[in-house]
Amino acid sequence: MLAPALSIGRTPLVAVYGTLKRGQRNHFWLESADFLGSDRLTSATLYDLGPFPGAKSEPSRGVEVEVFRVDAALLTELDRLEDFRPRQPHAGLYHRAIHATTFGPAWLYLYNPEIAGCKAIRQGGWP
């Protein structure tokens, strides 16, 4: 994992792994974003939560993500969708952290609640 903030002046990148991916039910949120490509992250493990997945910063054999370039306004909208609370990052459903991708450092939304009893996805993607 990299530093917790992007350098000033850089357009944010977001790595998505669940319902925001192309072809999934929430992808419409990213229709205006630039799709940069797919990648595999070994710095995160996905958990199948039923209707959506959650990621934790745990080593894996490579989970599938899609990387998009977004502007600050869209990142704010995604924060609302994912219940990310900048002033209390661990109080919402997700917090976010920078993870290295082949396209550069990207925000990854990480699931806050406990995942006991949920199936781990340590390689591949969801669903």
Active-site amino acid positions: 82
- Closest to 68 in 3D by CA, of 92, 101, 35, 100: 35
Percentages (nearest 5) of helix, strand, coil residues in the chain: 10, 40, 50
Cβ atoms of residues 95 and 82 within 8 Å? no
Strands (E), the chain: 13-16, 34-41, 45-48, 53-56, 62-69, 94-101, 104-111, 119-121, 123-124
